[in-house]
Every structure is written in structure tokens, then in C-alpha cells.
Chains A and B, each alone.
Chain A
Amino acid sequence: MNENKIDWVTILLYVIILAFGWLNIYAACYDETHAAVFDFSTKHGKQLIWIAVSFVIAFVIALTDSRVFSSMAYLIYLFVLVLLVITLFVASVTKGGQSWIDFGSFKFQPSEFAKFATALALAKYMSTPDLDYNLLRTKMIAFSIILVSALLILLQHDTGSALVFAGFLLPMFREGMSAKILLFGLIAAVLFVLALLLDQYIYVIIGVLAAITLFYLFVWLNKRTRKHYMWAIGLFLAASLFTMSVDILFEKVLEPHQRDRIYVLLGKTEDTHKTGYNVHQSKIAIGSGELTGKGFLGGTITKADFVPEQETDFIFCTVGEEWGFVGATVVIVVYICLLLRLVKLAERQYSRFSRFYGYSVASILFVHVCINIGMVLGLLPVIGIPLPFFSYGGSSLMAFTILLFIFLRQDQERGKTI
């Protein structure tokens, strides 16, 4: 049963994204005086090194017994937690965040590695034999595993990376967590946006909520039990309370620049110079690519440093500008294919550990793609997280490679019993 081949479809998709990503980093940093591919003083040159290192890591993982990961899961998790704590004290401040540790000239971002470590630990816990998911204790422990790392990252002012941990809701949903949590999350998000947009008409929102509640109770519902009434009224009160406290949450919890970004996104403030500058330029770059793009190295906006974070978080505008709608669509399709492939692989696992881990990989990648491209397209507020396998950066590329290949190795050895 352990004669399976590693999944070459996934590896092919991985290599396509890597290669096309590198090509766009090359274009984004293009400078005629440093056009040589193997010029290691340049970002595209350095990225080549990271790609090579990632291949080595992938190869090492492919030779490792997959059982090591499940048995070492908690240890790895603890190790990364310690690293995150250390980071808080020794970190150098980069771009407003404090998530980097310097090793000489090499900067290292532990939060990138927290993702696969948390995934391993959570998968390990969730696959504990005879675990009763319905116990409050189980839920508490599972959420603690997620929240501890997320909070440590949040303390580093790296909101984007912390947000990624919300992705674990998907594998938990798959394993049987009540769908209500996802639904509540969605409703909360909608109410949050509505409350911010219609801040003067909060009572209108509450009125509509009340109307929906009454409609639910007296028109839709067939069986009117006491329990139903309690639930409906309780939900209504909770939603109303949430809506009314949105502005307090908004003011107290979020940082000023985050508030500005959200206001810009919602169109409450017109701004193309300061907070809205990145997204405005990003939209110009992508929009001006039109159907077929301006051609490789032909981007006039990306070539001229109009978009900040061009090669990292905003790498997708280079695609949009130089490869047009066609190229950008291909990239999105490739990512969706990768995600669907991972779901397919996860579903063929025999162990709950590897299935949960597989879904975690897909979900983490999904949240990254979602937030990154959503931000670049001006659909989401500016949250700086990289596009997996695509953005410039050694830590994230290595961490994503580790994340992915641990799962591919488990998939290859899915016949082995734990």
C-alpha cells in the first residue's frame, strides 16, 4: 500500500505558479543594467536562490517518513510558538510590523512557519482517537491551538498573517463543526460592513433585523416551540447589540491605518494619494492591461515604481498589466485548480490527521489567495500578505513549500497506518 507515487499534478501546478511568479518578479524589478537572470544582487536573482532552496526542502521532505510529522506535530508547534515569542523581543521593525528576525543579512519571518506548525498541531489534536467534537472542552482546546499562534502574530502587528488562521474554520467545518459558526461569521461580516456604511441609520438595520425575526417566527416557522422563540429572540438581540457596538469595536480594536483602509475600500473617503494610493495604482496597472496586456516587460506602471510593494504583496498587478485579462484569469484558474486538487487529495486520505492537514493546506492557501488578490483588485482592504509561491520572499516561499510537501508526502504514504 505504500507504493503510491507522489502527486505530480499538484507538483506541476506548484511549478507553474513558481515559474510564472518568478517571471513577474523579474518584470517587476526589471532594470536594464541588471537584466542578467543570475544576477544575485537583484530580487529576481535572490528569488532564484529561494526557489532552489525550496526544491531542496521539498526533496528532503519527500524522503522523510510521513509519520515523523504527526508524531512531532506538538513539538514543532511548541518550537514555533517559542520562536514567535522570541520574535516579539528581538524583532526588527519592517513595514510597520515586527515579525522579522535578523540572521546577519538574512531576514527570517517566523509567522510564516506558524501556519504549517499550527496546521500540524491542530490536525494531530483533531485526529485524537475517540475525540468527542461536541464537548465544549474539545472546542476550547482546538480554538486555543489556533488562537495562541494567531494572537502572538497579532502582537507583532501582522494582522494579515493572523487573519490567515481564520482559514482553519474550513477543515473544522469539514470534520463536523456546526455550519452555524461559518454562517454567523458571514452574518457578522455583513452587519459589520452595513453598520459602517450606514452609520447614521443603524436603527434601520435593527428594524430590518426585527422584521426578519418576526417574519421567521410567524410566517416560515411551522412548529412554534418555546425553544425556537428563545433562539430567534436571542439571535436578534445579539445581532442588534453587535451592530450597535460596531463603531466601538472599529475605534478600539483596529489601528488607525486599518480603519482608513476600510473606509477607503467602502468608498467613505475619496483618497487616491495616501491610504488609497496603493489600490488606486494597482487598479490602474491592472485595468490598463486590458484584454491581452502590454506584453512581458512592457508594463508602463509597474516598470515605473508607481505601485509600492510591487514584487511582494502587489505582484498580481504585474500579471494584470503585462499579461492582461487572459494572463490574470489563467493565474486565478491555476490557483483554483490547485485548491480543488488539494481537496481531492484530502478526501482520499485514510487518516483523519492527513485529511485534516490536507484541508488546512488548501484553506491556508485559499485565504492567502483570497485576501491578496481581493486586495489588489480593490475588493478587500489593504492587508499585506503574500500570494503563495508567487510573491517575492524567501520565508513565505519556504514555509508554503514545507506546508504543501508535508501533505504531498502524507498523501504518497497514505497507506501507512499511524
Chain B
Amino acid sequence: MASNQYQERSTVIRIIFITIGVIFIVRLAFLQIFDSKYRDLADQQALRNVTQYPARGLIYDRNGDLLVYNEAVYDLMVIPRMVKNLDTAFFCKTMGISLDDFNSRMDKARHYSPYSASIFMKQISKEEYGSWQNQLYKFHGFYVQQRTLRVYDKPIAAHVLGYVGEVDDRDIAADSYYHQGDYIGKSGLEQSYETVLRGIKGKKIMHVDVHNREIGPYRNGANDTTAVEGGNLYTTIDAKLQEYAEDLMANKRGCIVAIEPSTGEILAMASAPSYDPNLLVGRVRGENYLTLLQDISKPLFNRALQAQYPPGSIFKVAQAMTALNLGVISPSQGFPCDKSLVGCHNHPSARSVQEAIKMSCNPYFYYTYRRIIQQGKFKSIYKDSPYGLNVWNDYMHRFGFGIRLPIDLPNVKEGRIPDTAYYNKKYGSGKWAFSTIYSNSIGQGEVEVVPIQMANLACIVANRGYYYTPHIVRYYGPDSTRNEEFYTKHETGINPSYFEIAAKGMYDVVHVGGGTARRANIPDIDICGKTGTAQNSGDDHSVFIAFAPKDNPKIAVAVYVENARGGGGYWAAPIASLVIEKYIRGEVTRTDFEKMYHDATPCQKLPLPKKTKTKK
């Protein structure tokens, strides 16, 4: 029997065993329960969130023709921390980049985050990707993500469609949807319908191994979400008319806006000079954008919505309607053509409102405007004029002037209808009266109007007193969503019979001897129009608004040609008539006439746009 004198020592040994066990369990608790950083670290290195980018919504014209669609491109992504044993020389050769380029791209990616993915090379074409797709596995830490780019079959409607660009820091801060490298609509429809077009991003969580190879979907895709495609836009634009209008304006400066009066649907909106929307797509975008931005002819500027011009004589139509409705003149009111008040061309004195519109008599509207502004409610003209101006302001707003029409495009200007506050600031309260502001009567002076508002005036006359807010999109998305604002009638509150007089006057402008726009005459189409010649610091601008046919009008047009000598009847009116004929007849029969105005360059020599790179 062995001696057992040290048996109590077995307790010491037991305690040692238990102590170590307890130490381990406490350590486990710290690692697994009290410290949550390990879970994040694990997810960071073993899971890869692959964003599923939805295809951006398509944009159709009013006849169902595609204006914008997408093509697939690829972004080469890098997770700098995962890049190991890279044969840099081979990589650079495969990707076709220099070593310096490689280093700067890697530095940029590392600077963003060594642990998460950033774009190493963007918008690689399908062909280019295909050429090294089978080499990709050699480059640990790199993978490819599919994206889409916009494609435009016809280089038209650049200002309407707008363009898509990479998000900036402000976009990311404003909306959590966006992450670095994402795209966002930067102008035009792309901007105003961004939330419709972008769709909903999906997320695929991939399980990757230590070599950054994808092992498979994490939890068999239980946490994945699928991308929802962007909604399509069904626009009111008539692609053929749009193309025709842009073609007519190609060598001019100005714009054309055509609207369907019965609905407010914009049929065409051309602003010249313009640009090929394909220039602002893909890797050439940045460089081309800078070139376009620096171009002094401002091709990125959408004159139809953003230019604020003196309207010239077209403004007289609104004055006549206002005066008639106020009862300060009657339809058979005559005024002498007294050139001592305000300059005019040679014509007999107008004996009625209809004649005044036809001949565009400046003194006539001087008198008319005086009756609106100085209604005799107060003895002092310094009190009477502000009263009249307030009334006039209200009427002008009803015509859509001086307010921002809620069109579904961004950056719409409101123009300017001067009010009492404006003049009080300019001249001092009680220091101005009709005699100070009479230039407004003929669309000069302080009045400024945006071309879309001019086209809207044509719509109001065409409709004999009301308009629908001009708009580009009829409906959008899978549920054909409509914007109710565009289906709401805006009444001017003016008696329709007065508009009948305006329509007749505008008919005479084109059809009757002494009218100012006989050149706009189209056989078989009853076109009604009003010319304008807007004075400014350079050569006069040529302005024309029109609608046709006279009864049950199908189209209303505003044409504004900058610095075109000879007045509204010489340049804007014929161009408007060509647009109207093209829309109503589907083709233009007056081919010689068409060629003349197509080829003519009314303005002083335009600075030609600098050479831009074409898309690869």
C-alpha cells in the first residue's frame, strides 16, 4: 500500500484546474459577449456587400419612341486591404494603365478606406471587360461591378432630358440612398424625376474567403434584396418635332417652345445652341462638361426655361385682354397712332382692339396701359398709379407671367412683372407714376418673360382664356402615375369673347394686309400669331407667338431668335410657321422656304463650340 501522506495536495491540483477553466470562460465572455467589435471585424473581412444597381428608368416620347435607354458597363472595384501578391506590372499591362496611374488610383482607394470597396476604374465597356475577364481571378482584392450608362439614339432634347453624373458630397449628405460613386440626375428630367428613374438598389451579401474569392451567397441569400428597376417616363415630347425644331435653330441663338394648348403638353422645347447628350455620358463626361461649361455661347443653358427676355410686342395681347376685362376700353376703342408718345412704324391708326393687335400699334397700347394704370381712383397720380399697378400685377400673374410655372423641369425662372415694391425701391415711394413705367405696355422696360411663358400666352389665347401648366411627363412608372397639377385648369378669369377678338387680331397678323407676320402664312392652315421685336443692348431679338388652327387649336408655339435684325415678322414668324406645319401636316411642303430659314444665320457670327471628344 502506497503512502498517502500528501493527499491534501490533490485539492491544490483540483483548484489549479478549476481556476484555469474559470479564467478561460471569463476570457470567452469578454471576447464573445462584452466586446462586439469582433462581429464587425468578421463581417468586414468575410462578407462583401455587392450592390445590385437597378437599371435606370427609360424615357419615351409621346408616340412611344425611346428617347433614352441604358447600356451595361463595368466598374473595376478594389478593396485595398485585400490586395495581396499583386503582379503590378502584369496588372497594369492587362488594364492598359501606367504604373503612376496605378499608384495614384490605389492611393485614392486607400485614402477612402483600406477595408471597403471603392472604384478603381470606372465605366469599362463590355468589350474591354471581356478582354481581361478571365485574368481577373489573379488579382486578389479586385472585382467587377455592373453599372448602366445612358444611351441616346438621336442627339436631341439634351436640355429636356438633362444628364446623369456622379454624386457629390452634398448629394450623399442629403439622401442616404447615395454612396460614393453612385449616379444622380444633374439636370433636366434626369434631375426632376430622379426618385422615379433611379429605382431601388438591391443588396447581395457574398461570403468571401481569405483570398477574396466568393464562396457563395451568405446564408443562401436570406438577407439579400433584389433591385427594383427605375420607373419609365412617358413624355409629351414629339421626337420628330423636337428634332425638326432643333435643326431649324442649329445655326441660330434662341429657342422654340411648342405646346398642345388643350392639355399643356410640351411637344418640343429646343434651345440653341445645344449639344449632343451623348457627350455627357461615360468616361468622357467630365472633360466634355468642362468644355461645354466654358463655351461662351452657353450650350448648357436652357433658354426656354431660364432666359428672361423682354417680351416685346407679343405682350400687347395680354394688355388688351386686361384692359377689356377691366372695362377701361371697349372692343371698338380707337386710339391715334401718336408717335410723339412712343415710336411706331408707319400704319393707319387702329380703330379697334383687333386692328391694334394686327398692326401692333405702340401708341395704342400706350393709351391702353395708361387706362389700366391710371384708373382715376385717386386724385394724385402717385397714388393712382400704384393702385393700377397692383391690379395689373394680378392680371399678369393670371397669364402666368412673373410667377414660376410649376413645370416638371428644374431651374425654371419666373421672369419679372414689376410691382409697386419694385418701383418704390427703384425710384422711391410716391416718386413714380404711369409716365415712369409706360414702356411695360409694349413689352419693354422692366418686364421680363421666360419663353415658356410666351408659349403659354399663345395657349391661353388658343384656349380663349385658360391654360394647363406646361409639362413634359404625361405619366410615369409601372402604375402610370400622373401629376394632378398638370390636369388642373388655370383660368385667367377674363371673358372668352375678348380672347375671340385677340384670336381674330392674331389671325389678321398673318393673313390680312398690314399684318406684321404675313410670312408666317401657310396655305390651308389658319395660323394666328403675334410678332414682337424686343430691343436690347445688341441687335433686336425677334419674337413670335402663334397657335393653329384658329378654331380648335392643336399647337401653340413661341419662337425667340436672339439678335435677329428685322423684327419678329422676319425671323421668328417664318420659323414658327414651319414648326406648326411640320406638326399639323407631318411634313413641310414649302421646301424652298424651309431651306431658306434653315440655312440662314440671322445673328452675328456665333462663337462655334470648341471641339468635344466623342464617346468611345
Interface residues on B, range: 35 or more
Please, which residues of chain B bring their CB within 8 A of the CB of A290? 32-33, 36, 39
Partner of B218, one of A300, A306, A332, A346: A300
Q: Mark B269-293, 1 if CB is under 8 A from A, else 0.
A: 0000000000000000000000000
Say if the beta carbon of B100 comes within 8 Å of chain A.
Answer: no
How far is it, in angstroms, between the C-alpha of A149 and the C-alpha of B581 when the chains are bound? 108
How far is it, in angstroms, between the C-alpha of A379 and the C-alpha of B30 when the chains are bound? 12
Say if the beta carbon of B530 comes within 8 Å of chain A.
Answer: no
Whether A343 pairs with B32 at a CB distance below 8 angstroms is no
Partner of B24, one of A127, A346, A374: A374
Q: Mark B181-216, 1 if CB is under 8 A from A, else 0.
A: 000000000000000000000000001111100011
Please, which residues of chain B bring their CB within 8 A of the CB of A332? 21, 24-25, 28
Say if the beta carbon of A10 comes within 8 Å of chain B.
Answer: no
Please, which residues of chain B bring their CB within 8 A of the CB of A170? 13, 16
Whether A377 pairs with B43 at a CB distance below 8 angstroms is no
Whether B28 pairs with A320 at a CB distance below 8 angstroms is yes
Partner of B38, one of A284, A329, A333, A351: A284
Please, which residues of chain B bring their CB within 8 A of the CB of A366? 16-17, 20
Please, which residues of chain B bring their CB within 8 A of the CB of A174? 6, 9-10, 13
Q: Mark A339-358, 1 if CB is under 8 A from B, else 0.
A: 11001001101111001000
Please, which residues of chain A bring their CB within 8 A of the CB of B42? 284-285, 287-288, 300-301, 321
Whether B31 pairs with A286 at a CB distance below 8 angstroms is yes
Whether B32 pairs with A320 at a CB distance below 8 angstroms is yes
- Shortest Cβ distance from A355 into B: residue: B2
Whether B32 pairs with A286 at a CB distance below 8 angstroms is yes
Whether A350 pairs with B32 at a CB distance below 8 angstroms is no
Among B23, B39, B41, B211, the one with the most A-chain Cβ atoms within 10 Å of its Cβ is B41
Whether B2 pairs with A306 at a CB distance below 8 angstroms is no
Please, which residues of chain B bring their CB within 8 A of the CB of A283? 31, 38
Smallest distance from the beta carbon of A364 to chain B beta carbons, Å?
13
Which of chain A's residues 268-291 have a Cβ closer than 8 Å to chain B?
283-291
Say if the beta carbon of A251 comes within 8 Å of chain B.
Answer: no
Say if the beta carbon of B14 comes within 8 Å of chain A.
Answer: yes
Smallest distance from the beta carbon of A309 to chain B beta carbons, Å?
13
Interface residues on A, range: 35 or more
Smallest distance from the beta carbon of A353 to chain B beta carbons, Å?
8
- Shortest Cβ distance from B41 into A: residue: A284
Partner of B20, one of A173, A298, A351, A370: A370
Say if the beta carbon of A373 comes within 8 Å of chain B.
Answer: yes
Whether A329 pairs with B218 at a CB distance below 8 angstroms is no
- Shortest Cβ distance from B46 into A: residue: A300
Partner of A350, one of B1, B36, B41: B1
- Shortest Cβ distance from B2 into A: residue: A352
Please, which residues of chain A bring their CB within 8 A of the CB of B16? 170, 366
Please, which residues of chain A bring their CB within 8 A of the CB of B215? 303-304
Whether A173 pairs with B46 at a CB distance below 8 angstroms is no
Say if the beta carbon of B18 comes within 8 Å of chain A.
Answer: yes
How far is it, in angstroms, between the C-alpha of A353 and the C-alpha of B14 when the chains are bound? 20
How far is it, in angstroms, between the C-alpha of A286 and the C-alpha of B77 when the chains are bound? 30
Please, which residues of chain B bring their CB within 8 A of the CB of A370? 20
How far is it, in angstroms, between the C-alpha of A347 and the C-alpha of B42 when the chains are bound? 46
Please, which residues of chain A bring their CB within 8 A of the CB of B23? 379
Whether B207 pairs with A339 at a CB distance below 8 angstroms is no
Smallest distance from the beta carbon of A345 to chain B beta carbons, Å?
11
Please, which residues of chain A bring their CB within 8 A of the CB of B33? 290-291, 325
Please, which residues of chain A bring their CB within 8 A of the CB of B211? 305
Known: A176-B6, A329-B25. A287 touches B39 (CB 8 A): yes
Among B10, B17, B211, the one with the most A-chain Cβ atoms within 10 Å of its Cβ is B17
Whether B38 pairs with A287 at a CB distance below 8 angstroms is yes
Known: A287-B38, A343-B13. A350 touches B2 (CB 8 A): yes
Among B3, B36, B215, the one with the most A-chain Cβ atoms within 10 Å of its Cβ is B215
Partner of B207, one of A304, A377, A379: A304
Say if the beta carbon of B45 comes within 8 Å of chain A.
Answer: yes
- Shortest Cβ distance from A333 into B: residue: B21
Q: Mark A303-346, 1 if CB is under 8 A from B, else 0.
A: 11110000000000000110011001100110110011001001
Whether B24 pairs with A373 at a CB distance below 8 angstroms is yes
Please, which residues of chain B bring their CB within 8 A of the CB of A328? 28, 32
How far is it, in angstroms, between the C-alpha of A293 and the C-alpha of B26 when the chains are bound? 17
Known: A173-B9, A174-B13. A304 touches B208 (CB 8 A): yes
Q: Mark B210-245, 1 if CB is under 8 A from A, else 0.
A: 110001101100000000000000000000000000
Say if the beta carbon of A199 comes within 8 Å of chain B.
Answer: no
How far is it, in angstroms, between the C-alpha of A284 and the C-alpha of B20 when the chains are bound? 22
Known: A283-B38, A286-B28, A340-B14. A300 touches B47 (CB 8 A): yes
Say if the beta carbon of B169 comes within 8 Å of chain A.
Answer: no
Q: Mark B105-143, 1 if CB is under 8 A from A, else 0.
A: 000000000000000000000000000000000000000
Which of chain B's residues 24-81 have a Cβ closer than 8 Å to chain A?
24-25, 27-29, 31-33, 35-39, 41-43, 45-47
- Shortest Cβ distance from B218 into A: residue: A300
Say if the beta carbon of B7 comes within 8 Å of chain A.
Answer: yes
Smallest distance from the beta carbon of A383 to chain B beta carbons, Å?
15
How far is it, in angstroms, between the C-alpha of A55 and the C-alpha of B25 when the chains are bound? 31
How far is it, in angstroms, between the C-alpha of A222 and the C-alpha of B474 when the chains are bound? 104
Please, which residues of chain B bring their CB within 8 A of the CB of A329? 25, 28
How far is it, in angstroms, between the C-alpha of A287 and the C-alpha of B211 when the chains are bound? 21
Say if the beta carbon of B346 comes within 8 Å of chain A.
Answer: no
Say if the beta carbon of B85 comes within 8 Å of chain A.
Answer: no
How far is it, in angstroms, between the C-alpha of A303 and the C-alpha of B46 when the chains are bound? 9
Whether B208 pairs with A288 at a CB distance below 8 angstroms is no
How far is it, in angstroms, between the C-alpha of A271 and the C-alpha of B284 when the chains are bound? 43
- Shortest Cβ distance from A328 into B: residue: B28
Say if the beta carbon of B5 comes within 8 Å of chain A.
Answer: yes
Whether B38 pairs with A175 at a CB distance below 8 angstroms is no
Among A289, A298, A324, A362, the one with the most B-chain Cβ atoms within 10 Å of its Cβ is A289
Please, which residues of chain A bring their CB within 8 A of the CB of B2? 127, 349-352, 355
How far is it, in angstroms, between the C-alpha of A287 and the C-alpha of B17 when the chains are bound? 24
Which of chain B's residues 565-608 have a Cβ closer than 8 Å to chain A?
none
How far is it, in angstroms, between the C-alpha of A366 and the C-alpha of B19 when the chains are bound? 12
How far is it, in angstroms, between the C-alpha of A176 and the C-alpha of B42 when the chains are bound? 49
Say if the beta carbon of A359 comes within 8 Å of chain B.
Answer: yes
How far is it, in angstroms, between the C-alpha of A343 and the C-alpha of B15 when the chains are bound? 11
Partner of A336, one of B1, B18, B28, B210: B18
Please, which residues of chain B bring their CB within 8 A of the CB of A351? 2
Whether A288 pairs with B41 at a CB distance below 8 angstroms is yes
Smallest distance from the beta carbon of A181 to chain B beta carbons, Å?
13
The 8 tightest CB contacts between A and B, nearest first, are A287-B38, A288-B42, A352-B2, A304-B209, A300-B46, A336-B21, A325-B32, A287-B31
- A-B residue pairs in contact (CB < 8 Å), sample of 10: A175-B6, A283-B31, A287-B32, A291-B32, A320-B28, A347-B7, A350-B2, A355-B2, A369-B20, A379-B23
Query: Which A residues contact B (CB, under 8 angstroms)?
Result: 32, 127, 170, 173-176, 283-291, 298, 300-301, 303-306, 320-321, 324-325, 328-329, 332-333, 335-336, 339-340, 343, 346-347, 349-352, 355, 359, 362, 366, 369-370, 373-374, 377, 379
Other than A339-B17, A346-B10, A369-B20, give 10 A-B pairs with Cβ distance below 8 A.
A170-B16, A283-B31, A287-B31, A290-B33, A304-B46, A306-B46, A332-B24, A343-B13, A355-B2, A377-B27
